[in-house]
Amino acid sequence: MKDKKAKLYVITGPSGVGKGTVLSKFFEKNKGNIIYSVSCTTRKPRLGEKNGINYFFISKEEFKKDIENNEFLEWAKYSDNYYGTRKDFVLNSLENGKSVILEIETQGAKKIMEEYKNCVSIFIMPPNMDELENRLRGRKTETEEMILKRLDIVKSELEESKNYKYVVINDKVDKAFEQLQSIYEKERAI
Binding-site ranges for ligand 5GP (CB under 6 A): 15, 19, 39, 43, 74, 76, 78, 83-85, 103-105, 107-108
84 touches which of ligand ADP, ligand 5GP, none (CB within 5 to 8 A by kind)? Answer: ligand 5GP
- The minimum distance between CB 2 and ligand ADP, in angstroms, equals 29
Check residue 45 for interaction with ligand ADP (CB under 6 A).
Answer: no
108 touches which of ligand ADP, ligand 5GP, none (CB within 5 to 8 A by kind)? Answer: ligand 5GP
170 touches which of ligand ADP, ligand 5GP, none (CB within 5 to 8 A by kind)? Answer: ligand ADP
Q: Which residues lie closer than 8 Å to 125 by C-beta, 6 or more apart?
A: 13, 17, 158, 161, 167, 168, 169, 170
DSSP state of 45: P
Distance separating alpha carbons of residues 181 and 78, to the nearest angstrom: 28
Distance separating alpha carbons of residues 138 and 16, to the nearest angstrom: 9
Check residue 172 for interaction with ligand ADP (CB under 6 A).
Answer: yes
Check residue 110 for interaction with ligand ADP (CB under 6 A).
Answer: no
Check residue 15 for interaction with ligand ADP (CB under 6 A).
Answer: yes
Nearest CA to 84 out of 101, 66, 99, 59 is that of 66
Q: By C-beta, is 20 or 97 nearer to ligand ADP? A: 20
Nearest CA to 85 out of 96, 95, 77, 74 is that of 74
Nearest CA to 69 out of 86, 57, 93 is that of 86
Q: By C-beta, is 150 or 188 nearer to ligand 5GP? A: 150
Distance separating alpha carbons of residues 9 and 187, to the nearest angstrom: 10
Binding mask 130-159 for ligand ADP (x = CB under 6 A): -----x--xx--------------------
Nearest CA to 104 out of 132, 81, 76 is that of 76
User: Interface residues with ligand ADP (CB under 6 A)?
Assistant: 13, 15-21, 135, 138-139, 170, 172-173
